[in-house]
Structure 1
């Protein structure tokens, strides 16, 4: 193995896992075995919870302006170690080094937001009656957990780590069993930044640990990012155990392209949206709805797609199983009557023959009843549906059970506003292929793309990671008494 056996991070130290059951972590880039990962048991989780419980009283009582000093230092260390972390992200996930660098840069932005939290949770105070004051304050929940996916080994953990911990909680994080290595660097950097032992803990494993997290009586809240199928399971199990839960699921994001859209800009955005991170992101465009005469734009999209070369500016998909599943969607669509304009099946990269690559794929004349039009493919594939009117396009978009993102490409401001008002999605783009909000605006979709209240990043996350305390104070009995006091 290229790396030593993976260990949990508990109470400020890397510790061996008690279980003998293991998984092999393999790089999708070239098939290289990277490390052996033992699957933790409930006993390992108990050890992490015990460490977090011991750390919580002191950490939660530390003033937030002192807590965020850790994240000022952590931000500096992310910048200093950007290349090392990006290379590991690329190696274990398969994305290009440029995409991995951008991922770490997003981690830096997320951390920067966390350092601003003292200015955002000052609470409110009001004299509600003569001599009577009401005050609100945000109080940490206690021990919280984050269950994170394979597609962003560094960024998605940092959706939760800086905010949850800066707000006074102690955290247990469960990495994807496909990409557990990047979080080892993050743990090292947090410790170097001065985070007290026990405040941040990593427990590696598979579904057994997910279930144990949802069931553990000392864990107050759970965040999850992954497929909708699993998000529903986690949400139901966690809330059944009376925990807060925010579970983000999959997506089927629609790009509505109107005939007046700028051809070059639209084509470049559509191609980048469907192929970035090999299409393995919940904000990727996977369905384009061409409204009216858009053949000239489709031609340019195909030209842009042909510039995307696997192994060069297109990374690998996560596994052999993913490659087979994506190619099966393409083949089924072709058999159902869709037209393959750019075909990414059967790709092998010279020198990386054991890598798992799917080339950029453009499929035209897809109909709404096809599986590829309805289901999340999670690969570098764009399906093109055709309508005559914008209202017909919105009917297709609204019919999707998902609701992460929708974008419209047009030069008409009125039509853009019409789409923004009527699309059933939590994040809207106008001439933007991947409408991810930047901090301090929060990330979160609608419908079956999210289960729970609030969003996972930005200002909205404050409500999820804290509980509100209300205090009413009266000191002057001479002020008299009325119904308000």
Structure 2
């Protein structure tokens, strides 16, 4: 326990200005279990005095595994020219542990000079980075991937402390971003051009070239995954990136910056700035920034897309969602209920692909009491606690909004089947906890249906037929994801053909495709603008621009050719 307290006190210093030790014998190719991680941390701490500083084979030995209060929390730094720098701002944003509301760090609102310096750094770095061979950039990405794997648990611990996810869920957050970075390592097969002979001795070639300086504006709910949706693809294609993590949980991004430096990214290729609206406006208005990736709320996303597009920038914006699942009477009952409970309440419902809405077809509405019973058995607790199924929501304000939307449903006639409001784990009475909540007999006119709740709340509507379910879902303005639970191939085929959402699951509650070949393909009001999708082939296209070169080299003009002795027979 004493070692744990020591680790917690040194947490933020280690996350932002880390102490690195050589440990050549240690290899962590995959994330450890929580108990194994705690054991490893204790052993490393006990032997740290025998380890000497070095730049390679580095293992971070002091990261948090508890929610204990941090004495004298340090400030979060910003990252420029491969250095962690103390901000000179006078405006700071307090960041609290959602499980306790204890202060974890203060995040700077980057100054005008700091924001400009980040872009200056990227501008200076771009010519050399663009000219770096693709194979060399690939080698750096290989090292970056290996370091993320090595520091997997450390990244997850930062997420649990700052965002509130359970430790196991936080490791999944890292994994889904890591998969994008791993896929980026295959860039040599993804960035090939085309060539066509268009006439005698004339050919046209196409190339994909980097845009220059790009930016990513990231949300609080996936502190590792979303930065890793952007950073690997943007940089391996030759761009330099300005990353703005959420001011609510920037720790994972700062660790990624440290690992990127260790992997060999040159100064200025990756820069990190902080803040809220002021920083966003700078990114939109700065003419040297050519493209913006954004994941977040409707209001912010529409603003960034509209204003950024007016400035002539490329903008990809993933916005809100209201993901439905149609439950057919022939569905496998046990699998369906377990899938629903996990997808609705995992991550405390704070994900754009959360399964927040059930459409109960026919007699399946009779399943709701059993769904409520299983949901009530979930362990709502601090994210570092053994066996926790979901942690707190991000802030007291988020909790209040969620609870108000639940009450609006009750006021408008919904049946409160399970009420998680006011939940207080014994060890964390001051946290932002909302337990699993289920509203039944909801109608499409209710506010709790029309708005994205973004919490552990499941709203349930009743219809009689498959056609009714499809019609109801298609009328919703959002189109991120949808699922159907059935054992009928014909029913599934009809559903996937007629439904309008971009990501469809058949007996799969959260159908986000892996980054290996596919992209995140939400549609309708969940995506602003044209089909600019994150990662995969379409993500690569977003961060590059086409160039075609048509050349004419006459064969008869070739030099050092064999001499001809015969008389010419033509003019």
Class of the TM-score when normalised by the shorter of the 2 chains: over 0.9
Shift of 1:349: 1.0
| Structure 2: distance between partners of 1:14 and 1:319 | 27
Does residue 1:356 correspond to 2:432, yes or no? yes
User: Residue 459 of structure 1 aligns to a residue in which SS?
Assistant: helix
Equivalent position of 2:524 in the other structure: 447
Counterparts of 1:53-452 in structure 2, within 5 Å, are 53-311=123-381, 312-439=388-515, 440-452=517-529
| Structure 1: distance between partners of 2:365 and 2:298 | 34
Shift of 1:299: 3.1
Q: Which has the higher contact order (CA 8 A, sep 6+)?
A: 1
1:461 to 530, 536, 539: 539
Q: Which moved more, 1:427-436 or 1:445-454?
A: 445-454
Shift of 1:202: 0.3
| Structure 2: distance between partners of 1:257 and 1:191 | 48
2:552 to 474, 477, 482: 474
| Structure 1: distance between partners of 2:437 and 2:379 | 11
| Structure 2: distance between partners of 1:413 and 1:157 | 38
Shift of 1:478: 4.7
| Structure 2: distance between partners of 1:59 and 1:345 | 52
Unpaired runs of 5+ in structure 1? 480-485
Larger Rg, first or second structure (1 or 2): 2
> Do the aligned residues in 2 keep the contact of 1:255 with 1:409 (CA within 8 Å)?
yes
> Do the aligned residues in 2 keep the contact of 1:248 with 1:444 (CA within 8 Å)?
no
What per-residue deviation string (whole Å, max 9, x for no partner) do you get for residues 289-335 of structure 1?
01111034323322221221210211110000111111111111112
> Do the aligned residues in 1 keep the contact of 2:346 with 2:389 (CA within 8 Å)?
no
Equivalent position of 1:482 in the other structure: none
User: Residue 294 of structure 1 aligns to a residue in which SS?
Assistant: helix
What per-residue deviation string (whole Å, max 9, x for no partner) do you get for residues 78-136 of structure 1?
11111111101111000000000111122221110010111111111121222211111
The count of aligned residue pairs is 479
Equivalent position of 1:483 in the other structure: none
TM-score norm. by structure 2 comes to: 0.82
> Do the aligned residues in 2 keep the contact of 1:263 with 1:296 (CA within 8 Å)?
no
> Do the aligned residues in 2 keep the contact of 1:41 with 1:208 (CA within 8 Å)?
no
User: Residue 282 of structure 1 aligns to a residue in which SS?
Assistant: coil
| Structure 2: distance between partners of 1:114 and 1:360 | 37
> Do the aligned residues in 2 keep the contact of 1:4 with 1:35 (CA within 8 Å)?
yes
| Structure 2: distance between partners of 1:307 and 1:60 | 54
> Do the aligned residues in 1 keep the contact of 2:97 with 2:104 (CA within 8 Å)?
yes
| Structure 2: distance between partners of 1:303 and 1:68 | 50
> Do the aligned residues in 2 keep the contact of 1:266 with 1:297 (CA within 8 Å)?
no
| Structure 2: distance between partners of 1:245 and 1:9 | 24
| Structure 2: distance between partners of 1:252 and 1:107 | 23
**Aligned alpha-carbon RMSD (Å):** 1.2
| Structure 1: distance between partners of 2:175 and 2:522 | 23
| Structure 2: distance between partners of 1:452 and 1:4 | 40
User: Residue 265 of structure 1 aligns to a residue in which SS?
Assistant: helix
Shift of 1:56: 0.2
| Structure 1: distance between partners of 2:227 and 2:418 | 35
What per-residue deviation string (whole Å, max 9, x for no partner) do you get for residues 223-242 of structure 1?
11100111000001111111
TM-score norm. by structure 1 comes to: 0.97
> Do the aligned residues in 1 keep the contact of 2:152 with 2:174 (CA within 8 Å)?
yes
Shift of 1:43: 2.2
| Structure 1: distance between partners of 2:283 and 2:380 | 38
| Structure 2: distance between partners of 1:199 and 1:422 | 45
What per-residue deviation string (whole Å, max 9, x for no partner) do you get for residues 183-216 of structure 1?
1111100000010010000000111000110000
| Structure 2: distance between partners of 1:291 and 1:363 | 16
User: Residue 363 of structure 2 aligns to a residue in which SS?
Assistant: coil
Provide closer, same or farther for how the CA distance between residues 155 and 288 of structure 1 changes in structure 2, counting only shifts above 3 A.
same
> Do the aligned residues in 1 keep the contact of 2:365 with 2:462 (CA within 8 Å)?
no
Equivalent position of 2:22 in the other structure: none
Equivalent position of 2:45 in the other structure: none
Equivalent position of 2:94 in the other structure: 24
